[in-house]
Chains A and B, each alone.
Chain A
């Protein structure tokens, strides 16, 4: 033992340690340096106002990246190139972001940018998201970026202002939750089914106070888009962040992207990123083991993302007030199958499932088929770059020929604040992340599902196990 050995650390601990401007004390939280702040129109205006009120400047505009996604229409502009917003207020919010970014020297990817898109789709696509970074955004799905081995989490608007002014946050150190997922996925089972199964297993508040690290053979075998889907929904079990250690899959994805390091910087970055993994012997505060081989296509039956069943299972018994209330809202009867329920709307999109893999999977199932007569199908790519790539592959034709709507990029019906919404009482099969009451419109009933399950349900007009259509080929 000639060299002093470093204590074994988890991936989270390594990234946390690197960003400490000041350590936590008994009286004060840690000061954590933030490498990248992502901004959008909804949670930033009050923060910009606060800086203005105090006479402060944005400290590092070069560490900010802005886009418009939540309030924006997903219908194309008119012949004169004008976009038609749902309300004047929605347009005003976007206009204010333009002004704020211009005044503070922040790069905004607006309508004219080939990169514009949902903030959590655009960041990785541009290579802005990199291993070992701290990344924040006024959006709870910021955990998406953890797929690259970044510590990424959602913050409120007051904290958005803190980061604008100081590039730092006051943070108490969270606990760590290791989720080991082992085994090969069955046909028809995707990353979305895995994360729904995880949330169903640990519960809608099972991750509160923790940062999750996902690991194991199932995660290793996933491509980056699948890992993003998994990390994206960490907040739905209460965890602010979810992480995956970077590997060759990560490096291959990032190489050559516009904001990724180049040349000598690239080689140096890879050497550094390779150290970002949990050491043998390091331990998590809590460990959960998941057998991926038994996971089936998974769906929600209730009004929070923890209410999950396999698609072939019966709707569970309402044995407490929370479940009874959920069954009542969903107009479901316990003991009956969820599969076969008539579907009014299918939504394929959101920061969870709007990337190329998701669109390819949906298109693969919808090719040479027609969507059911009484079912409206909205397909909303996550970004301009994704839209162009999908169109180059002809996926838009497959969707349009099937009778689906192929729309412009944005958050759209995930939270239905841009005017894209369903009607009261509608049952929606949605690839988004939240099935809260009224999330997709007043009285709308949401079933969360994978792009494959959503596409299968679009074809039959009923909640459908995609395996059935994959087998028949009809």
Chain B
């Protein structure tokens, strides 16, 4: 999963706290055995009614996938189920990064394995962004910075290994496989 290291885009805002992975992709779609094409189920119950008709209050109706690739949202994003279908669905829907004041652990780990960037910043930055939907931002994982035009530049935490793997296109499984000898030795003891 190679990544240029930079995401430059306008934001799209969902000002809701504790968005769980059941909201991101409901359980009914988990009978898939593929990882592709899940964008159509992303936030499904928010977008469609029980008959599959688009809801009048669909908060994603105005989302423009070509220019709004950064999702800004409330705290504790991605809580709940470990389903990796959540980042798969968000990526396929058109998001390349999510900005929040806190991410759930498993969602964060799953996202980094798929090139979806979880960007954790202070509440005041999220508040500014939520108050200015569509604001231009730049995320750089080589310097761990989020630049919010006209507001400031903010550092976000990203472990060096994930950043290294993302920017060099190194697969984490390949890295593990290189440790074959140590793993074998551990199993002997």
Contacts and interface: CB of A to CB of B under 8 A. Distances in A.
Interface of A: 21-22, 26-29, 31, 33, 42-43, 45-46, 49-50, 54, 56, 70-71, 87, 89-90, 92-93, 96, 138-140, 154-159, 161-162, 165-168, 170, 172, 174, 204-205, 208-209, 235, 238, 240, 304, 321-322, 325, 415-417, 424, 434, 436-439, 442-443
Contact of A168 (B31, B106, B183): B183
Contact of A157 (B84, B164, B176): B84
Nearest to A54: B173
A231 B21 CA distance: 21
A26 B78 CA distance: 27
A204 B31 contact: no
B30 A70 contact: yes
Contact of B106 (A31, A46, A154, A416): A154
Nearest to B185: A21
A165 B80 contact: no
Contacts of A165: 173, 176-177
B140 interface: no
B182 interface: yes
Contacts of B106: 140, 154-156, 235, 240
A161 B179 CA distance: 16
B151 interface: no
B81 interface: yes
B176 A158 contact: no
Nearest to B20: A436
Contact of B80 (A159, A325, A434): A434
Contacts of A155: 82, 106, 109
Contacts of A416: 27-28
A162 B173 contact: yes
Nearest to A90: B31
Nearest to A44: B33
Contacts of A140: 80-82, 106
Contacts of A93: 31-33
Contact of B22 (A33, A325, A439): A439
A22 B182 contact: yes
Contacts of B76: 204-205, 208, 238
B105 interface: yes
B34 interface: yes
Contacts of B16: 321-322, 325
Nearest to A417: B27
Nearest to B83: A43
11 contacts: A21-B179, A31-B183, A33-B183, A45-B33, A46-B84, A140-B106, A155-B106, A162-B172, A172-B159, A325-B16, A424-B50
A416 to B, nearest CB: 6
Given A93-B32, A156-B106, 6 more contacts: A21-B186, A27-B160, A45-B33, A166-B183, A168-B179, A436-B23
A159 B113 contact: yes
